């Protein structure tokens, strides 16, 4: 893997990740861009104790542009985009409309491929491996920023999720605080240790393996299962068998096997609802240990993949109970979801 670091016309950082060591990336961004101006602010809710990012400048971000004006495609035929090169493997750049910036953190865009019509599931194993390298490298670099407490790599896919750019891409948020979801996991982890003496992540994976009814993929270095108390109609958690706190600590065997397992999961998601159905909208989210917290090494890195589609033509909306009280009601039994995901395995 070769990494090339450069800057865009307004001073934002742009990084190319290439599979070939002899790749040359020297195209210059010649767009007449003004310096990025952000108004990101973190405010703390006194009742819930969580943090909210106020980012009014995001109202002007690009919204559903036509394919020939996509800002994530390579710059070609006189049309200049966020990527000055005429082609690329994987590209990462600072978001022009970040939710978090400066002392409030950092937001980056990860372009998985230069092919506008592709999706992550269409990538080859080598391409998916390169994306994993990019996620890992960005986690390592963002971890060194003094204001950053947690790095979150994720992908939103589908208009139903709220995606405004159709090009296959994800994002990385570097938060200046530990997210509420992770705080809950850390508390559960500590309580489990105090009560049983064991590690919560190890014990949950062992329980799912012993039960077997919710296992989706049982590979040599990774295991994927629908959680016992799944919040979403189709939700899968992917854990490395050797527990590690973040992407940086995955061993070579897990890195090598990940593309095969992850691509198979994504392709199964697109087959859940049968032939002729549109691509399944999903959120794919890496849960990594935050920095500088007690018991960090006990945290278990894992990827959460879920869709808001509950059946053909119907979505799972977060209505009163979910949005008002954060109590989820799931219409699809986890065991039935796991069975369906096993049924649509690649032959």
What is the CB neighbour count within 10 angstroms for residue 119?
A: 18
User: Residue 7 is inside which H or E element, if any?
Assistant: strand 2-7
Measure the CA–CA gap between 330 and 328, rounded to whole angstroms: 6
* Helix-then-strand count for the chain, H and E: 6, 15
User: Would you call 169 a catalytic residue per the annotation?
Assistant: yes
Tell whether the torsion through CA atoms of 10, 286, 70 and 264 is positive or negative: positive
What is the chain's length? 347
Measure the CA–CA gap between 56 and 41, rounded to whole angstroms: 9
The residues that bridge with 74 in the sheet, in sequence order, are 83
The upper half-sphere exposure of residue 234, i.e. CA atoms within 13 Å in the direction of its Cβ, equals 28
Closest CA to 97 of 71, 128, 132: 71
CA-based end-to-end distance of the chain: 31
DSSP states of 12-58: -EEEEEESSTT----------PPPP----EEEE-TTT--EEEE-GGG
Among candidate residues 57, 64, 167, 169, the one labeled active-site is 169
Q: What is the dihedral of CA 207, 210, 216, 220, to 10 degrees?
A: 100
The residues that bridge with 215 in the sheet, in sequence order, are 225
Per DSSP (E only), the strands in 270-331 are 282-287, 302-307, 309-311, 314-315
Whether 325 and 297 have beta carbons less than 8 Å apart is answered as no
The upper half-sphere exposure of residue 205, i.e. CA atoms within 13 Å in the direction of its Cβ, equals 22
Q: Phi and psi at residue 33, in whole multiples of 5°?
A: -95, 140
Kindly list the catalytic residues. 169
């Amino acid at each position: 893997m070769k990494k090339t670091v450069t800057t865009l016309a307004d001073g934002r950082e742009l990084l190319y990740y290439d599979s070939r060591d002899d790749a040359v990336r020297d195209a210059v961004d010649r767009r007449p861009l003004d310096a990025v101006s952000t108004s990101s602010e973190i405010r703390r809710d006194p009742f819930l104790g969580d943090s909210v990012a106020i980012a009014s400048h995001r109202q002007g971000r690009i919204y559903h542009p036509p394919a020939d004006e996509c800002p994530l495609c390579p710059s070609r035929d006189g049309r200049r985009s966020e990527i000055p090169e005429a082609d690329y493997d994987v590209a990462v750049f600072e978001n022009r409309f970040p939710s978090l910036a400066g002392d409030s953190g950092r937001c980056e865009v990860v372009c998985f491929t230069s092919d506008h019509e592709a999706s992550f599931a269409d990538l080859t194993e080598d391409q998916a491996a390169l994306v994993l390298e990019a996620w890992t490298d960005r986690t390592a670099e963002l971890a060194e920023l003094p204001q950053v407490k947690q790095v979150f790599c994720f992908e939103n896919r589908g208009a139903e999720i709220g995606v405004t750019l159709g090009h296959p891409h994800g994002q990385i948020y570097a938060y200046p605080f530990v997210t509420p979801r992770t705080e809950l996991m850390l508390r559960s982890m500590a309580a489990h240790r105090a009560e049983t003496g064991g590690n919560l992540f190890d014990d949950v994976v062992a329980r799912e393996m012993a039960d077997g009814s919710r296992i989706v993929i049982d590979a040599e270095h990774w295991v994927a299962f629908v959680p016992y108390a799944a919040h979403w109609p189709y939700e899968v958690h992917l854990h490395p068998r050797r527990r590690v706190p973040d992407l940086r600590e995955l061993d070579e065997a897990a890195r090598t096997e990940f593309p095969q397992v992850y691509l198979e999961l994504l392709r199964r998601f697109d087959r859940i609802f049968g032939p002729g159905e549109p691509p399944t909208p999903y959120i794919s989210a890496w849960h990594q240990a935050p920095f500088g917290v007690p018991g960090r090494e006990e945290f278990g890195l894992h990827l959460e993949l879920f869709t808001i589609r509950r059946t053909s033509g119907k979505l799972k909306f977060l209505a009163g109970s979910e949005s008002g009280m954060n109590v989820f009601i799931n219409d699809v039994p986890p065991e039935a979801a796991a069975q369906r995901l096993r049924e649509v395995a690649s032959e």
